[in-house]
């Protein structure tokens, strides 16, 4: 940050009084500019048919990770809830209508200043299509998922945890849990 968004004067990085972290501060108007992590929110769209579970994935049409597979997700907008964001992103990226269930995974990604949230979801129908940010959209069983081509570690973690929980749920041994993880450094998802 170089200039104040309040008065357009230059800002400097300093620790404000009664704070412990460096912030961009405007010496002209005194505004402290806080920069906080961004929320990435999405869903795990599931279709159950004749005892088979399929997950809807999107092949990315944009960077980063153009051409790799991901769950429908994106940055949360102002004036929406995390659930609103999950529904919107699923519709924008996959053209899919869903019913949301519980929050399934929360993954901190400090090196890119993000928190990723994924909700379990049920597809309402099979009327889906690639949105502007997706090259294609496809349903996968666990065995069919292109694990080597998953876009992000957060998505790989969420999918693995989902299928692990699903096996227990199908045996009536457990319910879906909330999974948390911290990913501190960039790494490949495969």
Pairing of strands 114-123, 38-49: parallel
- pLDDT in the model for residue 188: 52
DSSP codes of every residue in 110-142: GGGTEEEEEEEEEES-S-----TTEEEEEEE-T
pTM above 0.75, yes or no: yes
Q: Output the CA–CA distances (angstroms, integers) from residue 70 to 19, 24, 65, 156, in the order listed.
A: 38, 34, 9, 8
Q: How far apart are CA 26 and CA 109, in angstroms?
A: 29
DSSP classification of residue 10: B
Query: Which domains can be identified in the chain, with CATH numbers?
Result: 1-35 (2.20.70.10), 38-182 (3.90.79.10)
* pLDDT per residue rounded down to tens, the chain (190 residues): 999 999 999 999 999 999 999 999 999 999 999 999 999 999 999 999 999 999 999 999 999 999 999 999 999 999 999 999 999 999 999 999 999 999 999 999 999 999 999 999 999 999 999 999 999 999 999 999 999 999 999 999 999 999 999 999 999 878 999 999 999 976 554 4
């Amino acid at each position: 940050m170089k200039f104040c968004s309040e008065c357009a004067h230059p800002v400097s990085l300093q620790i404000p009084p009664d704070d412990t972290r460096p912030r961009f501060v405007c010496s002209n108007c005194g505004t402290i500019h806080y920069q906080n992590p961004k929320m990435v929110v999405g869903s795990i769209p599931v279709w159950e048919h004749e005892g088979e579970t399929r997950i809807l994935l999107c092949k990315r049409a944009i960077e980063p990770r153009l051409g790799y597979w991901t769950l429908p997700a994106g940055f949360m907008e102002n004036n929406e809830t995390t659930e609103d964001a999950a529904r919107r992103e699923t519709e924008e990226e996959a053209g899919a209508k869903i019913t949301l269930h519980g929050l399934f995974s929360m993954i901190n990604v400090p090196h890119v200043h993000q928190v990723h949230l994924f909700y379990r979801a049920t597809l309402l129908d099979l009327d889906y299509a690639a949105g502007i940010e997706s090259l294609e959209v496809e349903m996968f069983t666990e065995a069919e998922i292109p694990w080597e081509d998953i876009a992000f570690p957060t998505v790989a973690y969420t999918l693995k945890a989902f299928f692990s929980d699903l096996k227990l749920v199908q045996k009536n041994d457990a319910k879906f849990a909330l999974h948390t993880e911290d990913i501190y450094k960039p790494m490949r998802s495969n």
